[in-house]
């Protein structure tokens, strides 16, 4: 019996590749039929390395040198972009780290400039971010590749191409490593970009700029909601305490079971005093808490149901879930671990303290990094999510961690977070602004999807049809 008969009788996916066509990869996954079909569509494309001016990994020195520099200075006000902050067009700002101006000036090779394109080479790879005028002169780490497109080619178009399925599939095909996927610089340089005439590139730029404007308005509306909250609890004009010494009684240390100096910083006392007149309850008093579940990487299935991790989550909700599990395992877990309408999701691992209120049930299983909060009292869930994302709650989480950047928060500690309970009317006012921010965010997503689809139509058919789609 021939192999062709076996493939046909068992409805198997198979492709034939001649020895002369093999590259450095010999794994069958690399030669899947879908990838080979994409190769044909991208045959007329140019390697990314050919359309960029500077494309070497911009290292600032050894790991030890960089680590030392990052801890220079105290005025940590320069955004420091990591791999988790890039992808999907715009910088993910709710999880930015910051470095001092002193450190920033020493790490000159990784400064961001207007029009730069950033891609993650390690971790959650795939997708690209364009640096706009408001994001210039940030800094980034060595897991983020900074691409500077040559004059005459539109960086907004290239960013869109890298975010559409023909850019993403190339990245996923080239990536090595399972638990921590990564790309070499050679692989990044080799990504094929199919370029249209200037008109389509400019039309794509218009859409991305429109989406960027809506995105900024969404961020401003959300910040406006948080400012109302901070003003109501007395923290809108809060100035950090300059005191460096705090004297505590032994009884206080025994009560909180904390004897480390970090926990008793005067700044925490000052913030608590500012909010003391506001009615508050601990989180565990106003919600029931359910944990997510860990399934292990061996349970991942490329054709299964979404397995939601912290990297798929932000204050705007669940987006672009990367990992999946088998339908059978999903059926086994869904009753207990599927996010439900009315839940407030809260991250306790990785990026801690991100929160979002669900207004519809989601298909998928929550990883063990999440807590599902179900209100047991009358409280607006959008308001609760905003409070958990606020400076006030983040400071409490920082205190629980002893001032360190922690990777884990125990559920019992999360239950002790103090939640200010404002009037129903004020909660509704804040929640309305949050809802407006989310509606704008939805508009952003629709614009970006339209731009990506136009690029895909151009690759699959022609430029005329892509332009027709954009104006329809």
Q: Please give the DSSP secondary-structure letter assigned to residue 299.
A: G
Our CA dihedral for 369, 373, 379, 380, rounded to 10 degrees, sits at: 50
Per-residue model confidence as pLDDT tens digits over 390-404:
999 998 888 787 545
Residue 349 clears pLDDT 50, i.e. is over it: yes
Among 82, 161, 97, 87, which Cα is nearest to 312's? 87
User: How would CATH label the architecture of 279-421?
Assistant: Alpha-Beta Complex (3.90)
Residue 448 clears pLDDT 60, i.e. is over it: yes
Query: CA–CA separation, 67 vs 55, rounded Å?
Result: 23
The pLDDT value given to residue 471? 86
Backbone region of residue 309 per phi and psi (left: phi > 0; alpha: psi in -120 to 50; beta: other values): beta
The pLDDT value given to residue 58? 56
Higher-confidence residue of 132 and 242: namely: 132
Among 162, 190, 174, which Cα is nearest to 29's? 174
Higher-confidence residue of 13 and 265: namely: 265
Query: CA–CA separation, 16 vs 23, rounded Å?
Result: 14
Query: CA–CA separation, 193 vs 201, rounded Å?
Result: 12
Burial of 415 (0-12, 13-18, 19+ CB in 10 A): middle
Which residue intervals of 307-422 are DSSP H helices? 327-337, 381-389, 391-400, 411-414
Higher-confidence residue of 176 and 403: namely: 176
Tally of CB atoms within 10 A around 155: 23
Average model confidence (pLDDT) for the chain?
Answer: 85
Per-residue model confidence as pLDDT tens digits over 370-382:
999 999 999 999 9
Q: Which of 73-82, 162-171, 244-253, 442-451 has the lowest mean pLDDT?
A: 244-253
CATH topology match: 48-195 vs 279-421 = yes
The pLDDT value given to residue 165? 95
The terminus-to-terminus CA distance of the chain in angstroms comes to 52
Higher-confidence residue of 35 and 98: namely: 98
- Give the H or E element holding residue 313: strand 313-314
Query: CA–CA separation, 164 vs 287, rounded Å?
Result: 40
21: pLDDT confidence band, cut at 50, 70 and 90?
very low
What are the beta bridge partners of residue 290? 372
Chain position carrying tokens 């005028």: 133
Tally of CB atoms within 10 A around 242: 8
Higher-confidence residue of 11 and 387: namely: 387
> For residue 234, what are the contacts with CB-CB under 8 A and spacing of at least 6?
274, 275, 277, 278
Q: What CATH class has 48-195?
A: alpha beta
Query: CA–CA separation, 390 vs 384, rounded Å?
Result: 10
DSSP states of 421-465 as a string?
---HHHHHHHHHHHHHHHHHHHHHHHHHHHHHHHHHHHHHS-HHH
- Give the H or E element holding residue 256: helix 250-256
The pLDDT value given to residue 26? 46
Residue 227 clears pLDDT 60, i.e. is over it: yes
Residue 218 clears pLDDT 90, i.e. is over it: yes
Per-residue model confidence as pLDDT tens digits over 308-329:
998 889 899 998 788 899 999 9
The pLDDT value given to residue 301? 87
SS3 state at 229: helix
18: pLDDT confidence band, cut at 50, 70 and 90?
very low
- Write down the domain spans for the chain: 48-195, 210-229+427-472, 279-421
Is there a contact between 330 and 323 (Cβ–Cβ < 8 Å)? Answer: no
Query: CA–CA separation, 63 vs 57, rounded Å?
Result: 14
Per-residue model confidence as pLDDT tens digits over 140-163:
888 889 999 999 999 999 999 999
């Amino acid at each position: 019996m021939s192999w062709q008969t076996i493939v046909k009788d068992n409805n198997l996916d198979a492709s034939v590749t001649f020895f002369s066509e093999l590259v450095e990869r010999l794994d069958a996954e690399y030669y899947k039929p879908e990838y080979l079909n994409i190769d044909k569509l991208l045959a007329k494309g140019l390697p990314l390395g050919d359309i960029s001016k500077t494309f070497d990994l911009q290292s600032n020195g050894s790991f030890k040198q960089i680590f030392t520099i990052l801890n220079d200075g105290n005025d940590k006000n320069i955004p420091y972009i990591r791999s988790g902050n890039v992808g999907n067009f715009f910088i993910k700002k709710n999880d930015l780290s910051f470095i001092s101006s002193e450190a920033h000036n020493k790490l000159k090779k990784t400064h961001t400039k207007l029009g730069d394109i950033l891609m993650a080479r390690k971790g959650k790879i795939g997708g690209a971010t364009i640096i706009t005028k408001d994001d210039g002169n940030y800094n980034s780490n060595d897991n983020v590749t900074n691409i500077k497109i040559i004059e005459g080619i539109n960086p907004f178009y290239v960013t869109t191409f890298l975010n559409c399925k023909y850019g993403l599939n190339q990245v996923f095909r080239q990536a090595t490593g399972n638990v921590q996927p990564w790309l070499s610089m050679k692989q990044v340089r080799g990504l094929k970009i199919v370029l249209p005439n200037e008109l389509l590139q400019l039309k794509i730029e218009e859409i991305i700029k429109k989406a960027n404007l809506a995105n900024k308005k969404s961020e401003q509306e959300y910040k406006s909601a948080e400012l109302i909250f901070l003003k109501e609890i007395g923290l809108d004009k809060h100035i950090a305490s300059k005191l460096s010494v705090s004297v505590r009684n032994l009884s206080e240390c025994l009560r909180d079971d904390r004897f480390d100096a970090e926990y008793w910083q005067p700044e925490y006392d000052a913030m608590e005093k500012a909010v003391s007149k506001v009615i508050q309850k601990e989180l565990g008093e106003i919600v029931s808490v359910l944990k997510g579940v860990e399934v292990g990487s061996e349970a991942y299935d490329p054709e299964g149901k979404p397995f939601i991790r912290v990297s798929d989550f932000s204050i705007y909700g669940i987006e672009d879930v990367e990992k999946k599990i088998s339908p059978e395992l999903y059926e086994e877990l869904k009753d207990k671990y599927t996010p439900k309408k009315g839940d407030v999701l809260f991250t306790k691992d990785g990026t801690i303290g991100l929160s979002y209120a669900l207004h519809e049930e989601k298909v998928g299983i929550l990883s063990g990094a999440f807590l599902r909060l179900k209100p047991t009292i009358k409280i607006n869930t959008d308001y609760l999510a905003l409070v958990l994302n606020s400076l006030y709650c983040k400071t409490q989480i920082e205190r629980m961690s002893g001032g360190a950047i922690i990777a884990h928060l125990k559920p019992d500690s999360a239950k002790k977070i103090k939640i200010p309970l404002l009037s129903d009317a004020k909660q509704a006012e804040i929640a309305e602004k949050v809802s407006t921010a989310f509606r704008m965010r939805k508009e952003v997503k629709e614009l970006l999807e339209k731009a990506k689809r136009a690029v895909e139509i151009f690759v699959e058919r022609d430029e005329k049809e892509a332009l027709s789609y954009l104006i329809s």
